[in-house]
Each structure stands twice: as C-alpha cells, then as structure tokens.
Chain A
Amino acid sequence: QSVLTQPPSVSGAPGQRVTISCTGSSSNIGAGYDVHWYQQLPGTAPKLLIYGNSNRPSGVPDRFSGSKSGTSASLAISGLQAEDEADYYCQSYDSSLSGFYVFGTGTKVTVL
C-alpha cells in the first residue's frame, strides 16, 4: 500500500547515468515534505543515501544526487558502478494518513 510510486527496475551500463523517479501526491511530496532516499544492497539493511531532497551524508559519493519538484522527486546515479546494483527507496511523509512515514515501492538498479 505504498503511496509513493517508483519504477520497478532501471538498468544501465557501467559509466552511464540512470535516474529513478518517485511520484507522490499533494498530501505528501506535493505538500512540501522532504524526500529521502535509501540504498539497500542485497541481504543488508537500508542505508541513508540522500536526505532533505538533495543532501548526501558523509561518505556517500557525489555520483548520487537528488532533486524534488512538485509532487515528484528523482534520484540520479552518474558514472554507474557495479557496486551500485541494489534496491533504492524514496521516503517522505503523508498528511492524509495516520501512517506518518511513507516509502516508495522500490526500484531495483541493475548494472549491465
């Protein structure tokens, strides 16, 4: 019952740039709430990748960038590397649900 929609999968060759969209509505992203992104490598816990729409925590390569506009947000990975193969989730907040935190449906990034 995710309220944030992401493409199930994206793929690219090493060195290419890929983008992942996160589409919400006027009760979440469109209401002005921040969007955060998490990376989940196979068999591991999620890790914060982007916070506050476009900020990278210490240690996250600048190949990862985030943006937000209207009711959507995007994560871009430039210079794709093999170690970027993982699941990626966006997250925001929703004012229409008692559920508070909302996650995206998740996107599997495959490096060809």
Chain B
Amino acid sequence: EVQLVESGGGLVKPGGSLRLSCAASGFTFSSYSMNWVRQAPGKGLEWVSSISSSSSYIYYADSVKGRFTISRDNAKNSLYLQMNSLRAEDTAVYYCAKIQLSTAALDYWGQGTLVTVSS
C-alpha cells in the first residue's frame, strides 16, 4: 500500500525557516517524480514544486522560487521542502504527492502538514 507521511509543519514567524519531510513507502520511491502542493485555509490547491526521480529536473512555482528548495534522498525514501524567508501568504497545508508515470497525474497524496506563518 502506497503511503506518504508529511511532517515538519508548525508555527513560524515571518522571515523564518522550516523544513518539511515526506516519508514514502509501498512503492519504489527512486523511480518516481514527486510534487509538493499546498492549500491555504479555505482556498484551492496550488502547485509548489516538482522533482524528478534522480533530482535531475527541479521546478518551482514563481511564488516560491528563490525561497524554497525541494530535495530528495532515495536511500531514505524521503522527500523534503526547505522553506526560507517565509511569509504570511505561505500559510497552508502542504501535501506531498506522487506523480503517476504514464500521465503525470498526482496519484497518491499524503495527509498534509500545516505551516502557519505568523508573528
């Protein structure tokens, strides 16, 4: 059974940093690209970042470029999101999601971790 479990969320002051983790199991993690997607309270889904299976290709939304860094450790079956220079508008539930090979749809999602940026 595919499982994605995020951790690392919490309350942080504006300008602060946080590192999210996503532990993957139930599939060959090293073979799949992964995404981070966020959802602000009461709002819709927003794509944040993507990373290919070998970390060769990395993409960011304009809203986080230069502040967030996606990475992965295939030996540990883990995905990460380093978030720096956090702003109030980064407050959201952050989901990690597995990318389906054939169509690039997001076929499995974690339960999410809440990041609150507030003074």
A is bound by B: yes
A-B contact count (CB 8 A): 68
A100 with B47, Cβ < 8 A, contacts A45-B110, A46-B95, A52-B102 known: yes
Contact B45 A93 (CB under 8 A): no
A6–B80 alpha-carbon span in the complex (Å): 31
Contact A98 B107 (CB under 8 A): no
Contact A57 B104 (CB under 8 A): no
Contact A89 B105 (CB under 8 A): no
A21–B107 alpha-carbon span in the complex (Å): 21
Residues of A close to B103: CB separation below 8 A: 34, 36, 51-52, 55
Per-position contact with B for A22-52: 1 when CB-CB < 8 Å, else 0? 0000000000001010100000111110011
Contact B62 A51 (CB under 8 A): no
Contact A100 B105 (CB under 8 A): no
20 additional A-B residue pairs with CB within 8 Å, beyond A48-B107, A100-B47, A106-B44: A2-B44, A34-B103, A36-B105, A46-B95, A48-B106, A51-B103, A51-B105, A52-B102, A52-B105, A55-B103, A89-B44, A91-B105, A98-B61, A98-B65, A99-B61, A100-B59, A103-B44, A103-B45, A105-B44, A106-B45
